[in-house]
Amino acid sequence: MFTKTKLALATAVMLPAMTFSTQSLAAASNEDLSAKIEMLEAQLAKLQQMVTQQGEKQKAIETTVSKKVDSPVSGMKLTYGGFVKVDAISSSYSDGERASSAIGDDILVPSTIPVAGKSGSRRFDGHAKTSRFWFKTTTPTTMGNVNTHFEMDLLTFDGDERISNSDHSRIRHAYLKWDYDDNSSLLLGQSWSTFMSTMVLPETAEFIGPTSGVIFNRQTQARWSHKLS
C-alpha cells in the first residue's frame, strides 16, 4: 500500500526518466530524418543527372536528323518501268534454209538471210526475249542533277527450246550521268555509242526496226556532252 510520501517519491523518480526517454526519442527521430533527407537529396541529384544526360542525347539525335534532312543528296526520285513483249515471226526464204539457233531466229539481220541455196524454206519463231525492265534515279544536288539508269532485257541467244526455253538476262544500259549545268553533262557507264544517233530511227513495233546499213552498238564509255546554243 502506497502512502502519500512514497507516491510523491515515485512520481519524482519517474518524471526525470520519462523526460530523458522523450529527449532520446526526439534525438533519434531527428537523426533518422536527417539521414532520410540526405538520401532523398542524393536520389534527386542522381535523377537530375539522368535527365541532363537524356536531354544531351536527345539533342544529339535531333542535330543528326537535321543534318541528314539538310543533306544536298536529299530528294532523290526513283522511277521504274518496263513491258512484256511477245514476238511471233514468220520467215520465207527462196534461196536456202537459215541456220538454226542464230540471231536471225529473233530479229531481222540481213547477213543471216540464206543465199545460193537449192530450194526455199519457211520458218516460224516465237519468243518473249525483248521484254524489258529498268530503274532510273534523279538526285538534285548543289552541283547539278545526278542521274542513274539501269536497263535490261532477255535478248540473248543461248536458250534451248528442247528443255525450257530459258534465256539469260543482259544489260542494255547501266550508267551514271551528271548534269552539272543546263548545257553540259558527264556520263560514265554503258550506253549507246556516239557513232550512231538513235533519235533518227523511226518508231516501229519490231524490236530494232530498220537494220540494213545501221550500226547498233552499246559500250562502256566516259562521255562528255555539251549542247550548242
Residue type, 220: T
Q: How far apart are the first and last CA of the chain?
A: 133
C-alpha cell belonging to residue 205? 513495233
Beta-bridge partners for 87: 127
- Cα distance between residue 111 and residue 77, in whole Å: 43
In which residue are the cell numbers 518508231 written?
203
Quick one: pLDDT at residue 25? 55
Per residue in 101-160, pLDDT (tens digit) is 566 677 777 777 777 767 777 778 788 888 999 999 999 998 999 999 999 998 876 666
User: Which range (57-61, 106-110, 128-132, 196-200) has the least confidence?
Assistant: 57-61
Q: pLDDT digit string (tens) for 167-185?
A: 778 899 999 999 999 999 9
Residue with grid cell 557513232, as numbered in its chain: 195
